[in-house]
Amino acid sequence: MARRKQIYEGKAKILFEGPEPGTIIQYFKDDATAFNNQKKAVLEGKGVLNNRISEFIMTGLERIGVPTHFIRRLNMREQLVRHVEIVPLEVVVRNYAAGSIAKRLGVEEGAALPRSIIEFYFKNDDLGDPLVSEEHITAFNWANPQEIDDMMALALRVNDFLSGLFAGVGIRLVDFKVEFGRQYEGEMMRLIVADEISPDSCRLWDMETGDIMDKDRFRKDLGDVTDAYREVARRLGVLRETESSGQTGPVLVSDNEK
């Protein structure tokens, strides 16, 4: 097969030129990083799981009318997505206090927030993705006021969808990060959900046991990271039962499987 042109390599994904103009192939690596690249590991099978989980979530968002970059999954590690101009912001929605907000504002971990809180972080590895205000965003032209409104409205719709989806399978959506891209169609521009939504970018706690089922397992050295991601996939119905027992490659469908 002809070697595809690589457009960009990030910490957890590689982007290749897509087969048609306006498309990109998003390849999910097994690499995990935390604390702005200071901590690194290869978690075997993570990319496969995140590809499937993100596909499932993006497809669900499309179904309720939230536009995303997702077109279709190509194979175990790749999906075809729309080419967008990424807005250089990480949009975080929080329902319960955890992570940086707990630390920064002294809120007790796990406390329900008075309402869902939206935060913006400037995507810049050299600076460690600093928290920014709407003033910074408009002054430095990272997004205009209309785009900020649109991103906040979309982020809340994503939050409602994800909260319900996960609650239905016994998982609390503590917080998550979403990225947006500008898609140009002639004179028109619209913001769509881009990047990925997976246990790498969410905090997910088991509602019964409180067990952590997301990337905090890696950040906090709790172990069994991919097992937790696999359990998230299994509960969402993304994996067949037979795929949930440790195997991460394609599974041979056996005769006795339903």
| Gap between the Cα atoms of 162 and 197, Å rounded | 10
The tokens of 192 are what? 């769509």
| Residue with smaller CB distance to ligand TMP, 35 or 185 | 35
Q: Does 177 bind ligand TMP (CB under 6 A)?
A: yes
Stretch that binds ligand TMP, among 52-60, 94-102, 143-151, 230-238 (CB under 6 A): 94-102
| Residue with smaller CB distance to ligand TMP, 98 or 192 | 98
| Residue with smaller CB distance to ligand TMP, 55 or 129 | 129
Q: Does 176 bind ligand TMP (CB under 6 A)?
A: yes
Q: Does 203 bind ligand TMP (CB under 6 A)?
A: yes
Residue 134: CB partners within 8 Å, gap ≥ 6? Answer: 120, 145, 148
Name the 3-class secondary structure at 80.
strand
Total of chain residues touching ligand TMP, rule CB under 6 A: 11
Q: How far is the CB of 211 from ligand TMP (least distance, A)?
A: 16
E strands, the chain, are 6-9, 13-17, 23-28, 31-34, 39-42, 70-73, 78-82, 85-86, 89-96, 112-122, 131-132, 171-185, 188-194, 202-206
Q: Within 132-161, which residues bind ligand TMP (CB under 6 A)?
A: none
Considering only 202, 213, 228, 236, the residue that binds ligand TMP (CB under 6 A) is 202
Which has the closest alpha carbon to 83: 147, 21, 162, 132? 21
Q: How far is the CB of 134 from ligand TMP (least distance, A)?
A: 18
| Gap between the Cα atoms of 161 and 59, Å rounded | 12
| Gap between the Cα atoms of 205 and 194, Å rounded | 24
Q: How far is the CB of 44 from ligand TMP (least distance, A)?
A: 21
| Residue with smaller CB distance to ligand TMP, 56 or 176 | 176
| Gap between the Cα atoms of 79 and 191, Å rounded | 20
With contact defined as beta carbons under 8 Å apart, do 27 and 78 qualify?
yes
Considering only 51, 95, 183, 201, the residue that binds ligand TMP (CB under 6 A) is 201
The secondary structure of residue 253, as a DSSP letter, is P
Stretch that binds ligand TMP, among 37-45, 52-60, 62-70, 95-103 (CB under 6 A): 95-103
Q: How far is the CB of 122 from ligand TMP (least distance, A)?
A: 11
Q: How far is the CB of 168 from ligand TMP (least distance, A)?
A: 19
| Gap between the Cα atoms of 211 and 198, Å rounded | 17
Q: Does 99 bind ligand TMP (CB under 6 A)?
A: yes
Q: Does 100 bind ligand TMP (CB under 6 A)?
A: yes
* Residues binding ligand TMP (CB under 6 A): 92, 99-101, 129, 175-177, 201-203
